[in-house]
Amino acid sequence: MKDAAQSLLSTGVIQLANIASGVLLARILLPDGRGELAAAMLWPTLVASLGVLGIHEAVTYHASRGTHANSVILCSGLVLAFVLSAVLMPLGAIAVELALTGYRPEVLAVARLYLLFIPLNFVGLIAIALFQGALRFGEWNLLRTLVHVTYTVLIVLFHVVGWSSIEAFAAAYILANLVLAVTALAIAASHGWIRPRRPVAARNIIAFGSRVHASAIVQILGERLDQIVISVLLSAASLGLYVVAITVARLITVPAATFATLVFPKVARAGDSVEQARILGRYLRATLATTLAGIVVVVLCADWILNTFFGPTFGNSAGLVQTLAVASFLLACKTVVSAGLKGMGELRAISYGEIAGLVVSAVSLAFLLPALGVIGAAIAAILGQAASLAVLVNGLPRSFGPGAFALLRPTADETAGFAKVFLAVGLWLRKR
């Protein structure tokens, strides 16, 4: 589990950076400003996520499989990235104009500026995906950490010099993505992966990526649907409160997000279904153990976290955080299961699961948001994640045979390890 430990450390740094940036933005901008920044960044990010066609995941898959040389895969991916960016940026401009008509002109101007995020994000995604697929987890962890740390540092610098506006903070994230893209390409060049090559892997990348992305589109819409609807139907302050609540609740998904990035390439490289089941089961059990511990902490400490770190203007959102923590627990489990199925190439099961989640979320939002406001959106998120996870788990036996309960059965070493942890905690509590 060396890779997992190293990646967990990196994910911890990422989350600390995200918490720091979230706290700073919330305290500087307050709910209204935080909601406006979220709305301005939401739509270009959504267009990029929907239009990337899974090319970064295809890069990881083909690099782990060794179907082409890494230099060929990188060249092909970058060509596709620039072609897609040329198409998506005009589409993003149209989406921004339509979606943000009810916001201040300054917010619309920030959203237009933030369209530069699309090509920079694509370059960074593809480069990082190549390191992940090549199982170079040290460099991969460095790169995926870089953008979040850089963004936090830039927020601090901009605030110190008096550039405390949604325009400045949106520009800071664009600059952070530029730093990531340049650094990633420089490291790739040091490995000899940047050479003049014909993009002969482009067809393979599109073939796998489009299959993956069919389900990813539904997943993205399912996970962003609540924020999309809130940004259109409710106030900027409501969106600001919801975004902060998600920031806190999603802390419990940190281990799962890390495990999923390891599960995908390792399962893809595994030689047979028995090995695939062993890998997925080990990481799924680790996800359950760490996430259950995290949800207890977040639920008990939600009020203290909000008041201490984000300020009293967000202190009345504890109930929202606690509700979203349940949705985050379900999301954590779903993320790892989905990564395992993706590594096996079982994309149909993922699609069915994401479609089920999106449908349930949409129907739930239609009834719950008008009646309960942002709490209704959080309940809809729980229902959508539960439906999606249920369909994914139901697809596991058909995929490779061991069944969901077999995946959850701990090994003797894991049982002994958990026993030692519980014993240590019990002794500590007794001494207290």
pLDDT at position 149: 95
Q: Which residue has the higher pLDDT, 146 or 348?
A: 146
pLDDT at position 156: 95
Residue 384 CA, distance from chain mean position: 17
The answer to whether residues 172 and 158 touch, using CB atoms and an 8 Å cutoff, is: yes
Residue range 91-104, pLDDT digits in tens = 999 999 988 888 88
Burial environment of residue 177 by CB neighbours within 10 A (0 to 12, 13 to 18, 19 or more): buried
The answer to whether residues 314 and 341 touch, using CB atoms and an 8 Å cutoff, is: no
The DSSP secondary-structure symbol of 402 reads: S
The overall average pLDDT reported for the chain is 85
Q: Is the pLDDT of residue 12 over 70?
A: yes
The answer to whether residues 58 and 205 touch, using CB atoms and an 8 Å cutoff, is: yes
The answer to whether residues 20 and 151 touch, using CB atoms and an 8 Å cutoff, is: no
Helices assigned H by DSSP within 306-372: 318-344, 347-372
What are the boundaries of each domain within the chain?
1-213, 234-423
pLDDT at position 414: 56
Residue range 24-57, pLDDT digits in tens = 998 999 888 999 999 999 999 999 998 888 888 8
Q: What is the Rg, in whole angstroms, of the alpha carbon atoms belonging to the chain?
A: 21
What integer is the mean pLDDT of 253-266? 83
Cβ neighbours around 20 below 10 Å, total: 18
**Residue 175 exposure: Cα atoms within 13 Å on the Cβ side:** 15
Please report which confidence band the pLDDT of residue 145 belongs to, taking 50, 70 and 90 as the band edges.
Answer: very high
At residue 187, the 3 state secondary structure works out as helix
